[in-house]
Structure 1
Amino acid sequence: MKFTPVLAATILAGVAAAAPGRGLEARVKARASNTNNGKGSRPLQAVDKPSTVKNQTNVEYSSNWSGAVLVNPPSAAATYTAVTGTFTVPEPTGSGSGSQAASAWVGIDGDTYSNAILQTGVDFTVTDGQASFDAWYEWYPDYAYDFSDLEISAGDVIVTVVESYSSTSGIATIENQSTGKKVSQELSSSYALGGINAEWIVEDFEEGDSLVNLVDFGTVTFTGAVAEAAGGESVGVDGATIIEIVNDDDQVVTDVTIDSDSSVTIQYV
């Protein structure tokens, strides 16, 4: 799948935001803003339950997503307008030469509603044994863009927030609580959100027209996992649908547990 740039990203007065920029050269190819080789998320790509898996309820399988998804808003009049999650950046471990990567993010839409996704998060990449980290924002189906002025290291505590002002405008914010640095980007798009899904995800993201090699990311635990709906209602992850990644060998390579109404853990296995 190749993307066509469609996003009109605008930095508004008073918002601390970075223009699209390159991260470390050691990472997987830097996100591109003007070519079809850009890095980006995809909506959930569902796959059949592997034959080796016993029957489980409230679990879906995917080639690219793992985590927790609220697949329905509280009501038709109370669609999701904000999603928050905090996690500690893991220390990814790669094997062999070349690059392997994964991305942890929070977002609105992308599961049962796939026309648009507002999301923000952090990539973890290992290239020839060297780990690097990049914070980014995205309004799918446009590419993801880096926050070029936010330094991130393994062990840092990261707060991620997306909020929609309307179906076609919103803001992505990342705070590195370990360094005290916070960045935001206001966005607008002609691709409207539905506000139908809220999610906390580790993704095997796409670059160009194929998925990157999934890195062993260890464990990512989202705490403070809350979705807000129109009208001010807050919803946690209790009862969310669990998503597990299945690789090309029909093996489940993640293990997701909902620890509480505000915490979900995604583990590479």
Structure 2
Amino acid sequence: MKINTFLSTLLNVNLVLGGRWTQKRRETRAANARRFPEAFAPEHVPRLASNGTARIHSSRPLSVIDVAEKAIESRNNESHTTYSANWAGALLVGSGYTAVTGTITVPTPTGANAATQSAGAAWVGIDGGTCSQAILQTGIDWYVTNGQATYDAWYEWYPDYSYDFSGITINAGDSIRMTVLASATTNGAAHIENLTTGKAVSQAMTVSSAAALCETNAEWIIEDFESCDSSGNCPQVPFANFGSVTFTQSLAVQGGTTVTPATGSGLQVLDLYQNSQVLTNCAVSGETVACTYV
């Protein structure tokens, strides 16, 4: 899979849309609650819970757990695995990361019990691992309510919240390609394409220096994200059993050179660890990042 075509498309989107922040958008931004109002100028409203409750969803930077304290190294004897409270997948650590892409097949998740809504997300992004001040990311969420799964496609430039794409639908079994591009540390774009339906959406973003990228991380992630209420309380959502998710055709641009998760600098394989349990088993091979719920 060639990354150049997608990066050229995203760059054109970014150049065309980057200057179109109208008065209406500024009014919309001012009307929405923000933890970091100085950082971001979005077009759409924040994502709310799929059941309609007034909760705003947000990713968070990588939260690493000390495996020595948790005494779980003997589980698989993989010294290169990093355990996290919120991320699973693959993280590259280096410099000059300006684009990331990957393709997944949408899973059919299940919930822990019928009375509780559970959720999760799959996304690609730049930064948020060793650089915690910003994340440029895009991907999909899944929610399980009363045994039924629903899906959203979204984009985010952390520390702002995430925002839903309109004009695209996601269903179990669909093939979804997700891509982010940083044309500068404060300018970028997100692109989601449903390869099954042929629909695609893009969003250009501009932020202030308060949310500038470091461009030191590229990642392909399964996340237990946060759900924030109007009081600013942001607990993690109950994490759904996603079965398995595999990122294929996973590529990043580092210093102008295309790399894979296996060939990029500073690879860290991440697994989720919560409540004294390892919840995922992730592995990297070439252009593939495969994660299984365990």
TM-score normalised to structure 2 length: 0.79
**1:52 and 1:246 mapped to 2: Cα distance?**
10
1:3 shift after superposition: 3.5
Q: Deviations over 1:107-162 (max 9, x none)?
A: 00000011100000000110121210000000000000001221000000000000
Structure 2 stretches lacking a partner, 5+ long: 1-33, 229-233
Deviation at 1:201, TM superposition (A): 0.2
Structure number with bigger Rg: 2
| Structure 1 range deviating more: 155-164 or 50-59 | 50-59
Aligned position for 1:58: 80
Secondary structure at 1:134 match in 2: strand
Contact 1:225/1:263, CA 8 A, preserved across alignment: yes
Q: Which runs of 5+ in 1 are unaligned?
A: 11-18, 31-36, 74-78
Give the corresponding residue for 1:235.
259
Residue of structure 1 equivalent to 2:216: 196
- Kindly report which structure 2 residues correspond to 1:75-224, keeping only aligned pairs within 5 A, or say none: 79-96=96-113, 97-190=115-208, 191-208=211-228, 209-224=234-249
Map of 2:251 onto structure 1: 226
| Kept in 2: contact 1:22–1:148 (CA 8 A) | no
Q: 1:246 aligned to 2:277? A: no
Count of residue pairs the alignment pairs up: 245
- 1:234 alignment partner AA: T
Is residue 2:69 matched to residue 1:40? no
Counterpart in the other structure of 2:17: none
Identity of matched residues, %: 47
Superimposed CA distance per residue, residues 186-216 of structure 1 (whole angstroms, 9 cap, x where no aligned partner): 0011110010000000000011111000000
Distance 1:70 1:177, change over 3 A: same
Looking at structure 2, the residues matched to 127 and 199 of structure 1 have their Cα atoms a distance apart, in angstroms, of 28
Distance (whole Å) between structure 2 residues aligned to residue 170 and residue 120 of structure 1: 11
Which residue type is aligned with residue 216 of structure 1?
N
2:65 is paired with a residue whose SS is coil
Amino acid at match of 1:113: C
Higher helix share: 2
* Shift in Å, 1:22: 5.9
Residue of structure 2 in register with 1:267 after alignment: 292
| TM-score of the aligned structures, taking structure 1 as reference length | 0.86
- Matched with 1:14 is none
Aligned to 1:106, the other structure's residue is in SS state: strand
Query: Which string of whole-angstrom CA distances, capped at 9 and with x for unpartnered residues, describes residues 19-41 of structure 1?
Result: 337678437x46xxxxxx42110
SS of 2:108 mapped into structure 1: coil
Say what the alpha-carbon RMSD is for the aligned residues: 1.8
